Amino acid sequence: MSVTQTLATIAQTLPDGAGVDDAQNIAAAQGAGMAYGLAAIGPGIGIGYLVGQSVQAMARQPEAAGMVRTTMFLGIAFTEALALIGFVVFILLKFA
Amino acid sequence: MSLLPTLLIAAGEGGGLHYPSIEDLVEWPGIPAWEGAFYDFNKIAFINVLAVILTSMLFIFSDTKSLVPRGFRNLAEMAVDFFDKGIIGQTIGHGGEKYLPFIASIFFFVFFANIFEVIPLFHMPASARMATPLFLGVLTLVFFVAVGLKHQGPKYFFNACFPPGVPKPLYLLVAPIEFLSTFIVRPFSLAVRLFANLLAGHILIVTFGVLSITLFTASALVLILPFSFLMLCAMVGFEIMVSFLQAYVFAILAAVYIGGALHPEH
């Protein structure tokens, strides 16, 4: 359900006393939840694949484990940044 | 509707669940007499000062003259070995040893600023306010640009924007992207990574803390209390790991950026 649909539904179902602010807050909360949920999909797959491949590399060549681990953390840091930007968007939508 | 939200709503109607607003979680009142002055001082500033003192203490107390390492010296030698082999050896490589003090101070400062998240009576990471990570990000930017200017001269900016091995016409596209990603996205992403991780951890701990307090009632809801309390304990352990990992990632990225400024790509 999109945010505008939600707004319409909420506007119909809210009691008369409730203002536009309440409807906006609810829509913002829904948008925030969806923003973070969607932002977490890609990095989740990415980090899983990355760590899996790193474990495989370390198992195949244990003497290169140090180098692989450092590169793995670097890759995780870059991949995870997307999810974290999603989290910041969540905070901005929900609270700002 | 699943069980937990229903129960929460029930608890809320019973006069229970008051989730604090985000302002209550991260904003701390300053000392009233100093309000508005440039030396305005609050909990975050106090934690920052403590982190600086602890970092300096590691450097000062590990500087003993005896040949046999003991006490702080042992810890410091382990740490130096870790930075030398684990971070600088893997990223900067040859000639990176003299940047070890910078990497070490960054690591320890970030770690101490983070670990206050789980220390009783503080329970607030200084890195969960944007000022601290942003300052560290900009500091890293200034440092690696200075290293680049020292080792490559003014040509550093040219080298940074025009990586070799790209067909000439593509530079129209590549140069602006490289400029943006090197001088703007790097400090920003360093800052946002640290900030968002620690803020998320702080909110998680608060969530389970509030849940544990709310469920501490005489009603049947108390049956869920052990789960939320165990989750709170697990989160504290997880956040200790995150504190270390974020300091490590920050140090490693700073080292990678310094390494990139030190040796131009051929």
pLDDT mean over B247-258: 93
pLDDT mean over B33-37: 80
Please determine, for residue A66, whether its predicted confidence score (pLDDT) is greater than 90.
no
| CB nearest B193 (choices: A77, A91, A94) | A77
Taking the CA atoms of A67, A73, A75 and A77 in sequence, report the sign of the dihedral they define: negative
pTM, to two decimals: 0.84
B189: chain A residues, CB-CB within 8 Å: 81
> What does the pLDDT read at residue B96?
84
B130: chain A residues, CB-CB within 8 Å: none
Over chain B, what is the mean pLDDT?
86
**Contacts of residue B34, Cβ cutoff 8 Å, sequence gap at least 6:** B40, B41
Residue from B134, B207, B249 whose CB has the most chain A CBs within 10 Å, to mutate: B249
* Dist. CA B213–CA B207, nearest whole Å: 10
Cβ burial B73-108 (10 Å sphere, 16+ → b, else e): eeebeebeeebeebbbbbbbeeebeebbebbbbbbb
Over chain A, what is the mean pLDDT?
84
Higher-pLDDT residue of B240 and B224 is B240
> Could you tell me which residues of chain B have a Cβ less than 8 Å from any Cβ in chain A?
21-22, 85-87, 90-91, 189, 192-193, 195-197, 199-200, 245, 248-249, 252-253, 256
Closest Cα in chain A to B252: A74
> What does the pLDDT read at residue B2?
44
pLDDT digits (tens, 9 = 90+) for B61-108: 877 777 777 777 888 888 889 999 888 988 888 888 889 999 999 999
Contact B117, B257 (CB under 8 A): no
> What does the pLDDT read at residue B266?
57
**Helix, strand, or coil (residue B12):** helix
CB of A63 within 8 Å of a chain B CB? The answer is no
Q: How confident is the model at residue B7 (pLDDT cuts 50, 70, 90)?
A: very low
Q: How many residues does chain A have?
A: 96
Q: Which residue has the tokens 């009691």?
A: A15
* Dist. CA B44–CA B54, nearest whole Å: 15
Q: Which of A14-28, B165-179, B199-213, B214-228 has the lowest mean pLDDT?
A: A14-28
Q: Which of B87-91, B145-149, B183-187 has the lowest mean pLDDT?
A: B87-91
Q: Identity (one letter) of the amino acid at B149?
A: L
